[in-house]
Amino acid sequence: MKSLYDDKEALKFKTDLDLRVYTSRLLGRDASLVLHGGGNTSVKSTATNLFGEVEEILYVKGSGWDLATIEAEGFAPVKMEMLLKMAELKELSDTDMVKYQRLAMTNPSAPNPSVEAILHAIIPFKFVDHTHTDAVVTITNTHGGEDKIKELYGDKVLVIPYIMPGFVLAKLIYDMTRDVNWSELEGLVLMNHGLFTFSDDAKKSYEKTIELVDKAKRYLEAKGAILHIEKSNVSFELLKLAQIRKEVSNLKGAATISILNDSDLALHFSKQNVEKIALQGPLTPDHVIRTKRIPAILGDDFNADLAEYVKEYKEYFEANKTDETLLNPAPNFAILKGNGTLSFGSNAKEANIIKDINDHTYEAILKAQMLGGYKALSAKNIFEVEYWSLEQAKLKGGGKLPEFSGKVAVVTGAASGIGLAIAKMLNSRGAAIVAIDINPEIEKIFAKSDAIGVKCDLTCSQDIQNAIERAVKSFGGIDIVVSNAGIFTPSENLDMLSDENWQRSMDINLTSHQKLIKYTAPFLKLGVDAALIMVASKNFPAPGKGAAAYSVAKAGQTQLARIAALELGEFGVRVNTLHPHAVFDTAIWTEEVLANRAKAYNMSVIQYKTNNVLKAEIKSNDVAELVCAMAGRAFAKTTGSQVAIDGGSDRII
């Protein structure tokens, strides 16, 4: 393992805090050291207060910040004097610790200090680095783990037996180190928890972490704990993935994103004796607030397996509770025996965090098995952290979830215009998006963990099925389909209408919608409050001369939606149609085209844009708002409806 410290780069950072930010990011850059908000760092410095007095300050990572991206404002400034006095107390409750740490802050708008701030304060060095390094924690999570750590590091590292984080941990280390010569120590190893390194020099503290972790990695290799994972190809039934996601959503009481992990590692792990190795507990106890203590193990009868998981979780709660309130007992991840794993979250970000944590855990468990057997903390120890008020507060800080959190939406024609606006708006309101378009740029426009673009020819059945497979594997199922893709065909009167013009309009403006319904309907039936929304046209209720190919196709699309409403209603799928007209902020309406069209009607461009009863200009976002309404609570009990969005057309009225 190599140091990423760059002496030239470090010269740019003049203050203690700036240098602390730099080395913290170096740690956060490596997922094998810290994951998703894990670990914490600090620096001791001075600051002059309002009265001109110089105070000793601990700048410690604030709650909610990630080391990979932390900024200076992510460090909470806490008075050292207060923290050191707190360390001398015999007892201190969690809530009082948090309260008094905040009272000791010099900036009330800064984030809450880490729950390990007191521990950072009592370590008598300027820079302190705390990581949850996979290699070290793997060794501690084995039978005889403490002896192995001592064999590895000797007297250079002080081994701390597992105890709850927070004040009790700081107090334990405070008592254990009263007679210790800190200058002879290279670090602290906290059993089942992580590694602390320290120095008065930022580079030395960081590189001591790298050195000790590298030793742990080489130790694992020397003991034969090396994974050999073969390439695997397993195809799990898509509908079964959607069925599992539906049942988990039911158990959680809300739409849930379900991400399939069929990587070589996940497949290899799922083929092991998972009942033995996967049901002991997480790699470190702080993972439990994301993953729960153990996964569900799913075989052929997944409904029975999920029900059994819920039953056993409630038993685990009853066996360990004092006065806590039961959390939702549904699993946060599952192992599909022989077929990979699933992670569940209220959104794609949360599910991906769980997936990342699990990837590191699978590798650690497999290596620990080679080192004498994986041995996690007891259920009681894990329960204490899972129901610890300070850890629960981390999960509750996000506030109310957006309307479409946990939902999966497929939007066609999403590379521009109305489709682009719809996809972006649904995503901004919490939905995971699969944006489809024949334009390959769609893959660049939507390239996030919760919004993916898929190039797809909607006249090709195989392309549609491939896009659906991507949606289900990425997010678990489909709840919302917005069938929007379409083209304007050239204007031709009936006696001059070419076969090519007619057929092209039928293929794209009608048949593609039929194909999309055919292949998405089985998944919509398993969706959560599922909705199919057809974006048709004013040309259905009010056709014009020369537009037979377009108008007839749009009439067929509207009729298709009405039949879909009849057929899918018994499965709870709502099907509604909207008819936009004169939406001018799309690619086809260039300034030149607008000017020519307005001139043809003897109007100004503004008059042409607002040529409706309300004198209102209709934009793509207005259409997107109506789509969101149709997909959401406003249309919860409406199906088979048709709504025009055109500012009021006298021809339709």
Note whether 211 and 336 are same-domain residues.
no
pTM of the predicted model, to two decimals?
A: 0.93
Token couple for 105 = 């802050």
CATH number (domain holding residue 529): 3.40.50.720
Give me the residues paired with residue 128 across strands: 42, 198
Establish if 519 belongs to a structural domain. yes
pLDDT score recorded for residue 398: 59
d(CA 615, CA 622): 15
Note whether 82 and 58 are same-domain residues.
yes
555: left (phi over 0), alpha (psi -120 to 50) or beta: alpha
Note whether 50 and 138 are same-domain residues.
yes
Q: 3-state SS of 38-94?
A: CCEEEEEEEEECCCCCEEEEEEEEECCCCCCCCCHHHEEEEEHHHHHHHHCCCCCCH
Establish if 416 belongs to a structural domain. yes
Instruction: List all residues 6 or more positions away from 229 whose beta carbon is below 8 Å from its beta carbon.
Output: 264, 265, 268
Chain centroid to Cα 494, Å, comes to 53
Note whether 324 and 346 are same-domain residues.
yes
Note whether 478 and 565 are same-domain residues.
yes
Establish if 151 belongs to a structural domain. yes
Establish if 608 belongs to a structural domain. no
Do residues 191 and 159 lie in contact, with contact meaning Cβ atoms separated by under 8 Å? yes
Do residues 269 and 366 lie in contact, with contact meaning Cβ atoms separated by under 8 Å? yes
3-state secondary structure (DSSP) of residue 445: helix
Note whether 557 and 486 are same-domain residues.
yes
Establish if 392 belongs to a structural domain. yes
Q: pLDDT below 50 — which residues of the chain?
A: none
pLDDT score recorded for residue 597: 81
Q: Which of 198, 222, 246 is the last residue of a domain?
A: 222
Runs of H (alpha helix) within 485-635: 499-506, 512-524, 548-568, 591-600, 605-609, 620-631
CATH number (domain holding residue 83): 3.40.225.10
Establish if 162 belongs to a structural domain. yes
Q: Which one, of 342, 280, 268, lies nearest residue 305 by Cα?
A: 342
Q: Which of 169, 198, 222 is the last residue of a domain?
A: 222
* The total number of structural domains that make up the chain: 3
pLDDT score recorded for residue 652: 87
d(CA 447, CA 455): 12
Q: Distance from first CA to last CA of the chain, Å, rounded?
A: 72
Note whether 209 and 243 are same-domain residues.
no
Q: How many CA atoms lie within 13 A of 32 on its CB side?
A: 14
Amino acid at 239: L
Establish if 593 belongs to a structural domain. no
Note whether 184 and 296 are same-domain residues.
no
Note whether 383 and 426 are same-domain residues.
no
Amino acid at 194: G
Instruction: List all residues 6 or more positions away from 509 whose beta carbon is below 8 Å from its beta carbon.
Output: 486, 487, 489, 550, 553, 554, 557
Establish if 2 belongs to a structural domain. no
Note whether 419 and 567 are same-domain residues.
yes
Q: Which of 328, 363, 396 is the last residue of a domain?
A: 396
d(CA 509, CA 487): 7
Note whether 156 and 256 are same-domain residues.
no
Note whether 423 and 561 are same-domain residues.
yes
d(CA 427, CA 145): 46
Runs of H (alpha helix) within 302-416: 302-320, 348-370, 379-386, 389-396
Q: Which domain holds residue 512?
A: 408-583+618-645
